[in-house]
A and B are shown apart, each in its own frame.
Chain A
Amino acid sequence: MRGYILRRVLQSIPILIGISIVAFLIIQLPPGDYLTVYASNLRSQGEFIGDEELEALKAQYALDKPVYMQYIRWITNFLQGNMGQSFYWNKPVSSLIGERIALSMVVSILTLIVTYGIAIPVGIYSSIKQYTWSDHVITLIAFIGVGLPSFLVALIVMYLGVKYFNLGAGGLFSADYLDAPWSFARVIDMLKHMWLPVIVIGISGTAGTIRVMRATTLDELSKPYVEAARARGLSELKAVLKYPVRVALNPILSTIGWMLPTIVSGETLVSLVLGLPTTGPLLYRALITQDMFLAASFILILSSLTVLGTLISDILLAWMDPRIRFGGAE
């Protein structure tokens, strides 16, 4: 087990480095170096930036050095909490992204919980009731749900909401709490607004997980150990819940590994349509305005958190599965 954890942690280090390189590339790719952009941005706002200041910034970002030095400088700065300057907002990036990333993660994790909370029991039910009409209905809905592009669903839901239910234009807070400081009441208000985005983001994941859960449970239900449990005199419910479901849960839960990136990904797009105060809209604005420090920081932090989340869930799952815990099969 300890070996597994160590291996898993070591594995994620190159991934994190890779992510940081991609993020850095995103800063580098647009034509012109960002100081020029910065200066012209300031000038367009009527401010002036002196040569000395420019030189200082140049030194800070190692712009006179080769690219890999720039990368090293950027990433060390980043790790120390200095994520660079947002040209558009003219503020340090770190002051802009904290709450948004936190909210993104809250929405994503809540979606994850709701996804599994719905999909697992429904999938089990569907498999136990195989070939009954309720199973057929669930299968069909799940089948359609898998293919639904969440941001289009968001768009249509928004339209229906505005048109027929007189809902506001999305968001996570009601007007009273929009700019209020954090308080218990604000959290409650947020949770009340959370269900719609959570459902929209979760649709396809939930549908997919229902299908996987159903298929794996069906697979397990036909395994000899279930029959053996019945032959031992166990009640049907107990024989099913204690053995096959428990076994089927493992591969399902281990898909958290790829669910989290998918959900974070969906959250970015859906939050844009629904106007949530999470990463999506700000990242979008950053990209549109070529505010690359901000954009890259978002991508780096979002991806790193996803990788960490996956790492943690993998370790928890390994701990749950004796076959891995005792170093048997992978």
Chain B
Amino acid sequence: MAEPNIPQVQDQTLAEIGADLEDQVSSSVQLLTHGQLVLARFKKNRLAVIGGVILAILYLLAILCEFVSPYDPDRRFQGFVYLPPTTVHIRDAEGRWRAPFIYPIKRMTDPKTFERKYVEDTSVRYPIKLLQKGDEYELWGLIPTNVHLFGVDDAAGPLAIMGLESMGRDLFSRILYGSRISLSIGLAGVFFSLIIGLVLGGLSGLYGGAVDNIVQRVIEFIRSIPTIPLWMGLAAALPPNWPQLRVYFAITIILSFVGWTTLARVIRGKFLSLREEDYVLAATQAGASRWFIIWEHLVPSFMSYILVHLTLSIPGMIMGETGLSFLGLGLAPPAISWGVLLKDAQKIQEVAIHPWILWPSIFVLVTVLSFNFFGDGLRDASDPYSQRL
């Protein structure tokens, strides 16, 4: 405030004098910027920090998946269908400590039951090497190479740390490749929701009247129907001959079809309430254009809310894609996503015998929980007075 606060009312009460004093105190104490405060509060929330770190690792793995995964995701190990996760040893048969190594696997058929069995051949050791040369790939489609973060000599047979799946492909490599789609679809979906939500919520709050009414009814409509049957219906209606990239975008749009509604509601509410606020009024009177005001004043004022909201709606999108692909209504092979991988787990008898095919679900769970922890911490940090719901 520029001018000194001269009370004009006749019976200014002690409360008001006290409040003025408090204002002076707090303004002199606020040396930290808003961003620093948010960061400081966020760091105090241990779960949120852990969530953030896990997410960072997962996204890093997705970006570097060709390099980190030991094999090409489509490489089939003939004769090793449903190979259980390979045991990595650090002690050899004589009990000596060694650098991590594996024994090659031999396939045997039980003479009585004719069941297939995999047995370790403990006579040879194959150490796990860093920067092992293996399947050819092009990193980000640019750099041709064959160096993988880790691996074993091909003679050792598959190094399948999460087992092989129904067609003898390495599950771990496939999960890493799948994370590209599964993790990015959440971001893409949230991006679409953001655009739809901003535009419709903004129009609704800015113009009010008939526009507002229509948008509100549409939102009510979408929120009152059970989403999954609707998603399933829409996804199933996609032409089966579409290329996977187009399906990917179609699925994203189907997922955002529901996601934008909450965002639009809040943005509308913000616009409505901010329209009334003094500084907006002041700016209008000072001749600022409407869009300038929106950009300069309104957007920053709910930026943090939008960020938090987006973070918290990513897990829903990831789950949506996983669910649809799991059912075979979303993406389909040759595309790889966690949902596509989980399709194998549809038959519970298969799961009971080869439980490692549930690994993708663990990734989904961890991702979803991490996003929730992270987003919740972000919300508490950015707005400590908001209700913790």
Would A and B touch once assembled, by the CB under 8 A criterion? yes
Q: How far is the CA of A254 from the CA of B114 in the complex (A)?
A: 60
Quick check: is B124 within 8 A (CB to CB) of the other chain?
no
Contacts of B329 in A (CB 8 A): 287-288
From residue A311, how far is it (CB to closest CB) to chain B in Å? 9
Contacting pair A158 B351 (CB below 8 A):
yes
- Given contacts A29-B237, A152-B365, A296-B233, whether A265 and B228 have CB atoms under 8 Å apart is yes
Q: Does B225 contact A (CB under 8 A)?
A: yes
**Judging by beta carbons under 8 Å apart, are A159 and B352 in contact?**
yes
Question: Of B47, B223, B228, B364, which one neighbours A258 at CB under 8 angstroms?
Answer: B223
Within 8 A of B (CB), among A195-213: 208, 211-212
Confirm or deny: B387 has a beta carbon within 8 angstroms of a beta carbon on chain A. Answer: yes
Q: Nearest Cβ in chain B — how far from A66, in angstroms? A: 20
Please tell me which one of the listed residues B237, B326, B328, B345 contacts residue A288 in the complex, with CB atoms under 8 A apart. Answer: B328
A212 near B368: Cβ-Cβ < 8 Å:
no
Q: Taking the nearest CB of chain A, how far is it from the CB of B30, in angstroms?
A: 26
The interface-forming segment of B183-191, B297-305, B315-323 is B315-323
Contacting residues of chain A (1-25) with chain B, CB-CB under 8 angstroms: 11-12, 14-15, 18-19, 22-23, 25
Q: Are A265 and B345 in contact, with the CB atoms below 8 A? A: no
Indicate if the CB atoms of B365 and A159 lie closer than 8 Å: no
Interface residues of A in 252-276 (CB under 8 A from B): 257-258, 261-262, 264-266, 268-269, 272-273
A152 touches B364 (CB 8 A): yes
Chain B nearest Cβ from A72, distance in angstroms: 20
Given A15-B220, A149-B319, A296-B233, the answer on whether A264 and B226 have CB atoms closer than 8 Å is yes
CB distance from B50 to the nearest CB of A (A): 13
Q: CB of A97 within 8 A of chain B? A: no
Q: CB-CB < 8 A to A257: which residues of B?
A: 224
B230 touches A22 (CB 8 A): yes
CB distance from A237 to the nearest CB of B (A): 25
Q: A74 contacts the other chain (Cβ, under 8 Å)? A: no
Whether the pair B227, A265 counts as a contact (CB closer than 8 A) is: yes
A162 is contacted by which of B236, B327, B351 (Cβ under 8 Å)?
B351
Do the beta carbons of A287 and B387 come within 8 Å of each other? no
> Is B141 interfacial (CB-CB < 8 Å)?
no
B149 CB, nearest partner CB in chain A, Å: 28
In contact, A310 and B224 (Cβ under 8 angstroms): yes
Which one of A146, A147, A302 contacts B229 once the chains associate, using CB atoms below 8 Å?
A: A302
Contacting pair A169 B223 (CB below 8 A): no
In the complex, the answer to whether B229 meets A265 with C-beta atoms within 8 Å is yes
Instruction: Given A159-B348, A159-B358, decide whether A266 and B327 contact each other with a Cβ distance below 8 A.
Output: no
If A265-B227, A296-B233 touch, does A14 touch B355 (CB 8 Å cutoff)?
no
CA–CA, A39 to B363, complex, Å? 44
The reply to whether A268 and B229 form a contact with Cβ atoms under 8 Å apart is yes
Identify which of residues 161-220 in chain B touch chain A, using a CB-to-CB cut-off of 8 Å.
Answer: 217, 220
Assess the A163–B225 pair: CB atoms within 8 A. Answer: no
B369: Cβ under 8 A from any A Cβ: yes
Q: Is the CB of B221 within 8 A of A149?
A: no
Task: Say yes or no: is A298 at the interface (Cβ < 8 Å to chain B).
Answer: yes
Give the docked Cα–Cα distance between A239 and B364 (Å): 45
Q: Is B232 an interface residue (CB 8 A)?
A: yes
B39 in contact (CB, < 8 A) = no
Closest chain-A Cβ to B320's Cβ sits at a distance in Å of 9
- The chain B residue with its CB closest to the CB of A303 is B225
| Residue in A23, A144, A211, A298 whose beta carbon sits within 8 Å of that of B389 in the complex | A211
A199 to B388, CA, bound (A): 24
Contacts of B368 in A (CB 8 A): 147-149
Known: A299-B230, A307-B225. A143 touches B372 (CB 8 A): yes
Q: Are B372 and A14 in contact (CB under 8 A)?
A: no
Pair A212/B389 contact, Cβ less than 8 Å: yes
Contact between chains at A26 and B355 (CB < 8 Å): no
Q: List the interface of chain B (C-beta within 8 A of A).
A: 47, 217, 220-221, 223-230, 232-239, 315, 319, 322-323, 326-329, 342, 345-346, 348-349, 351-352, 355, 358, 361, 364-365, 368-369, 371-373, 376, 387-389
Contact sample, A vs B, 27 pairs, CB 8 Å cutoff? A12-B224, A22-B233, A29-B234, A30-B237, A143-B47, A144-B369, A147-B372, A148-B365, A149-B365, A152-B322, A156-B358, A159-B352, A163-B355, A261-B224, A261-B225, A265-B228, A265-B229, A268-B226, A268-B228, A269-B228, A284-B327, A287-B235, A295-B236, A299-B233, A302-B229, A306-B225, A307-B225
Binding site for B on A (CB under 8 A): 11-12, 14-15, 18-19, 22-23, 25-26, 29-31, 143-144, 146-149, 151-152, 155-156, 158-159, 162-163, 169-170, 208, 211-212, 215-216, 219, 257-258, 261-262, 264-266, 268-269, 272-273, 279, 283-284, 287-288, 290, 295-296, 298-299, 302-303, 306-307, 310
Which 3 A-B residue pairings sit nearest by Cβ, starting from the closest?
A29-B237, A287-B236, A147-B372
